[in-house]
């Protein structure tokens, strides 16, 4: 299923420049300048995570780096140098309370309005079946939105 493109620094800069509340004179500050600033910001986030620092994204949440060492639970072998099971790193993302509430509210409103998912993140076929069984979706709700998107993606690849 096609989920759309990932938001890059260039795409984010375009959105910022196109905002109605953009107070900067577009002649003074162009999209490339904003893109360069965003790339520097992302680079600093990258460096902070490499050093084990938490990164707070305003209104979004926090990215927390973690170190994982397996102690042999859940069918995972114990961390050992000879067995090729070294310690590893992982990132954990926590959302802000307002983002959590707003995302869930949007999803429920969309479902009530017959839109199965978020704007650029449709429900999967399996999720639709689960929601039908739990009563969130009517039994006659189609999976057309998911299938249509897959068909459009395949048509686009043929050309």
Are residues 113 and 145 in contact, defined by beta-carbon separation less than 8 angstroms? no
Separation of alpha carbons 54 and 132, rounded Å: 39
Q: What are phi and psi of 151, to 5 degrees?
A: -65, -40
Exposed, middle or buried: residue 123 (CB in 10 Å: 0-12, 13-18, 19+)?
buried
Q: What is the pTM of this model?
A: 0.67
pLDDT tens per residue across span 107-150: 999 999 989 999 889 999 999 999 999 988 888 877 654 444 44
Are residues 4 and 149 in contact, defined by beta-carbon separation less than 8 angstroms? no
pLDDT band at 77 (very low <50, low <70, confident <90, very high): confident
Biggest CA-to-CA distance, the chain:
61
Beta strands in the chain (DSSP E): 55-57, 61-68, 88-95, 117-118, 121-122
Separation of alpha carbons 87 and 76, rounded Å: 12
pLDDT tens per residue across span 1-37: 345 578 888 888 888 888 888 777 666 677 888 899 9
């Amino acid at each position: 299923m096609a989920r759309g493109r990932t938001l890059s620094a260039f795409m984010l800069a375009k959105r910022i420049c196109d905002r109605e509340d953009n107070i900067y004179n577009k002649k003074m500050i162009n999209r490339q300048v904003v893109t360069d600033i965003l790339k520097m910001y992302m680079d600093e986030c990258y460096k902070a995570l490499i050093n084990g620092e938490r990164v707070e994204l305003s209104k979004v949440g926090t990215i927390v780096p973690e170190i994982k060492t397996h102690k042999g639970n859940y069918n995972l072998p114990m961390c050992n140098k000879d067995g090729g099971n070294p310690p590893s790193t992982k990132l954990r993302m926590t959302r802000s309370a307002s983002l959590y509430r707003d995302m869930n509210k949007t999803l429920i409103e969309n479902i009530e309005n017959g839109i199965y998912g978020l704007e650029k993140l449709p429900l999967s076929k399996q999720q639709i079946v689960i929601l039908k069984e739990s009563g969130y979706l009517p039994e006659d709700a189609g999976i057309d939105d998911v299938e249509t998107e897959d068909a459009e993606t395949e048509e686009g690849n043929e050309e």
